[in-house]
A = this chain, B = another copy of it.
């Protein structure tokens, strides 16, 4: 069948799963990313540097280490994992865990991008909004956030791309169970273990690229539209 493009059902599953994981990871981490970026830019609080460091940690650590830490914390036996399990939220060896791993790995990229855009918002405009009666949160929603759109989009697309490519932390945390937690990168990894399967691996690589480029293009279009609203007629 042409529709399968030569991919096996497990590969299709992996593609679907990767998309789902990347989307969920991006969408769910975005509010946190915005919040943390805002806190880092505009608030002064004890432990700010610590938070900043913590956010960057997944970038610095080998992914395997991050995955291992996630396994220890969010595994069924982990302190948070076992707690959340009582509430029906299971990460261990589920696609949700893959999404969590992807989100955590992508988080520093997202926060940095948003932070840069928030820093570039002119505080004079926020002040002007305040004189017009806008509360802090309203100022944030109607001035700061819209003006930070370029960074938010950049953060989202970076996170999405990273989530699509994330491998080390994911396979360490949730393993690579076909249909459950096997994402495209773990499928590629598995294929690379078999000599002579480079061709099959390459096709999956191509899929990753196509998905990421699509997201990239989409974000560029959104960004252009947003900047047109600010810069031109």
Contacts and interface: CB of A to CB of B under 8 A. Distances in A.
A165 B113 contact: no
A52 interface: yes
B65 A188 contact: yes
Contact of A150 (B59, B68, B119, B189): B119
A56 to B, nearest CB: 6
A209 B63 contact: no
A65 B216 contact: no
- Interface SS of chain A: helix, strand, loop or mixed? helix
A120 B52 CA distance: 23
Contacts of A109: 59, 109, 112, 158
B192 A53 contact: no
A64 B167 contact: yes
Interface of A: 49, 52-53, 56-57, 59-65, 68, 108-109, 112-113, 115-117, 119-120, 150-151, 154, 158, 161-162, 164-165, 167-168, 185, 188-189, 192, 201, 205, 208-209, 211-213, 216-217, 220, 227
